[in-house]
Amino acid sequence: MNVNTQSVNFNADGKLLDFTQKRLDKLDLFYDRVVTAEVFLRLENTSVKENKMAEIKLHVPKDTLVVKKQCKSFEEAVDSACGSLERLLVKKKTKPKLYNSLKFL
């Protein structure tokens, strides 16, 4: 899977980028037709401790899944967003196809 990572309002180090890549590679276990992923890591300028936001756009055939999570660390935000994407991908994979049921009508 092709992963494009952009960091907004800070410079991401190699460890964070590697963690993001490895975590997103695990999504192939749940749905094997993922084309690309766009990751936006944002550092919000607020006094709240939970000021790190991860937004992941996952492109699959005929659909785009978007998840945003805000946590205390970028690793936690990416991990939480990937957990949500795992549930969405399993739901998408098991959802019956509408066009298959219309063929027999």
pLDDT band of 48, cuts 50, 70, 90: confident
Average pLDDT over residues 8-16: 92
Q: What is the CATH code for 2-102?
A: 3.30.160.100
- Domain boundary assignment for the chain: 2-102
- Distance CA(85)–CA(77), nearest Å, equals 12
CA distances from 100 to 33, 61, 62, 97 (A): 19, 17, 16, 6
pLDDT surpassing 60 at residue 101: no
Which helix (H) or strand (E) is 7 found in, with range?
strand 2-8
The sheet that has 2-8: what strands, in order across it? 2-8, 36-43, 52-60, 63-71
Spatial contact of 34 and 93, defined as CB atoms under 8 Å apart:
no
